[in-house]
């Protein structure tokens, strides 16, 4: 049973004030893009993880293993993960694998869960897991757990600049809090950007490029100074919008069309690798 699952890019990531429980209220607009991991589930008497990338943990802390356990505690499965989504890259690769594992195990074990049931189980594993099941374009609010699909017309063309090594999401949030404390900046209560929602509904790439926003970007740049140069390089190459994806260090550039995306990708020099992708695409699905 093989499931293909997309990465996400955050079009808006607005981070509210730190709450008493240590979380932030977020407004998080996700778009699923055509960079995919694949998870294949087959029968086994124990939970077994195999992965083609050395940086992925193979034990019980692998998010795909946790997903299998959440679905049917104590049941065995062999999960073979083929990674294309960058690891710790701000594109929710681990959450994507968890979503794929939920769909694959549900089918392998004939559990017959609805997508809504899988999204609820996934939400307990991580706030990005439900979106990897839903796909498309959606806005998450609260801690990210309340998810609502958004209208997006047409296809947007992206370039992703992949960096060497990852950034830890909790560390980036911590740096965001530290910067706010040091500068005395009061975080605003987050709300969905009107210009961004309109640009999506109109399929207007130029307007979307201008509306992209990520409150974690200053923190990610503080932890990885080279991201500044990568973002500048993309803008100089004519990207309609440039931002750090989620907690980084992947940088996302919005291109005018597919040809522009290809030109941008081959011209970017200040990153390990640049890949093109388009969105929105559907969520985790059996292939
Ligand atoms: P997000 O965008 O959701 O903050 P990310 O894309 O920055 O996440 P992930 O690729 O999800 O980061 O990985 C974060 C950490 O999760 C990794 O450093 C790794 O140790 C752990 N992890 C657990 N399971 C997986 C998995 N299946 N694939 C990748 N990383 C995993």
CA of 94 to the centre of ligand 1 (A): 4
Q: What is the pLDDT of residues 92-114, one digit of tens each?
A: 999 999 999 999 999 999 999 99
d(CA 155, CA 135): 14
**CATH code where residue 199 lies:** 3.30.70.890
Closest residue by Cα to atom 11, ligand 1, is 94
* Torsion over CA: 95, 170, 279, 57 (sign): negative
For ligand 1, what atom is nearest to the CA of residue 51?
27
Exposure b/e, 58-76, CB count within 10 A at least 16 = b: eeeebbbbbbbbbbeeebe
Task: Kindly state whether residues 247 and 110 are assigned to the same domain.
Answer: no
The structure tokens listed for 106 are 């549900």
Q: What is the pLDDT of residues 190-226, one digit of tens each?
A: 999 999 999 999 999 999 999 999 999 999 999 999 9
pLDDT band at 282 (very low <50, low <70, confident <90, very high): very high
Instruction: Decide if the complex's ipTM is over 0.90.
Output: yes
Active site residue 8: yes
Of 119, 150, 181, which marks where a domain is finished?
150
pLDDT at 26 over 90: yes
Active-site residue, from 97, 128, 204, 215: 128
CA of 275 to the centre of ligand 1 (A): 19
161: left (phi over 0), alpha (psi -120 to 50) or beta: beta
Return the closest-CA partner of residue 110 out of 77, 65, 135, 66. Answer: 77
The structure tokens listed for 260 are 């522009």
Q: What is the pLDDT of residues 265-274, one digit of tens each?
A: 999 999 899 9
Task: Kindly state whether residues 45 and 173 are assigned to the same domain.
Answer: no
Closest residue by Cα to atom 23, ligand 1, is 62
Closest residue by Cα to atom 15, ligand 1, is 88
pLDDT at 143 over 80: no
- Residue 285 belongs to a domain: no
Task: Kindly state whether residues 191 and 207 are assigned to the same domain.
Answer: yes
Task: Kindly state whether residues 163 and 263 are assigned to the same domain.
Answer: yes
Of 99, 122, 150, which marks where a domain is finished?
150
Q: What is the average pLDDT score of the chain?
A: 95
**Number of separate domains in the chain:** 2
Instruction: Provide the domain limits for residue 207.
Output: 156-279
What pLDDT, on a 0 to 100 scale, did the predictor assign at position 149? 97
For ligand 1, what atom is nearest to the CA of residue 94?
11
- The secondary structure of 97-111 as a DSSP string is HHHHHHHHHHHHTT-
- Ligand 1 contacts (CB < 6 A) are 56-57, 62-64, 81, 87-95, 97, 128, 166, 169, 246-247
What pLDDT, on a 0 to 100 scale, did the predictor assign at position 18? 87
Active-site residue, from 8, 83, 97, 204: 8
What pLDDT, on a 0 to 100 scale, did the predictor assign at position 88? 87
Cα dist. 35→47, 93, 156, 247 in Å? 26, 10, 14, 17
């Amino acid at each position: 049973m093989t499931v293909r699952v997309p990465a996400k890019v955050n079009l808006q990531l607005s981070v509210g004030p730190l709450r008493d429980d240590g979380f932030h209220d977020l407004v998080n607009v996700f778009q699923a893009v055509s960079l995919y991991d694949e998870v294949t589930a087959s029968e086994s008497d124990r939970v077994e993880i195999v992965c083609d990338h050395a940086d992925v943990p193979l034990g019980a802390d692998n998010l795909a293993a946790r997903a299998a356990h959440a679905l049917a505690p104590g049941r065995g499965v062999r999960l073979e993960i083929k990674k294309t989504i960058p690891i710790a890259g701000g594109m929710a690769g681990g959450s994507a694998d968890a979503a794929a594992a939920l769909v694959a195990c549900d089918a392998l074990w004939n559990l017959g869960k609805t997508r809504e049931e899988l999204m609820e189980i996934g939400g307990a594993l991580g706030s990005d897991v439900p979106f990897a099941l839903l796909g498309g374009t959606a806005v998450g609010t609260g801690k990210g757990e309340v998810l609502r699909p958004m209208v997006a017309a047409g296809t947007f063309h992206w370039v992703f600049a992949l960096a060497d090594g990852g950034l830890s999401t909790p560390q980036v949030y911590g740096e965001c809090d530290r910067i706010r404390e040091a500068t005395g900046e009061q975080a605003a209560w987050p709300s969905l950007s009107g210009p961004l929602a309109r640009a999506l509904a109109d399929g207007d790439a130029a307007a979307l490029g201008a509306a992209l926003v990520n409150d974690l970007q200053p923190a990610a740049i503080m932890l990885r100074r080279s991201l500044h140069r990568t973002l500048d390089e993309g803008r100089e190459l004519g990207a309609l919008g440039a931002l750090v994806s989620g907690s980084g260090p992947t940088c996302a550039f919005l291109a005018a069309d597919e040809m522009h995306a290809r030109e941008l990708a081959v011209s970017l020099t200040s990153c390990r690798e640049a890949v093109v992708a388009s969105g929105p695409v559907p969520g985790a699905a059996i292939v």
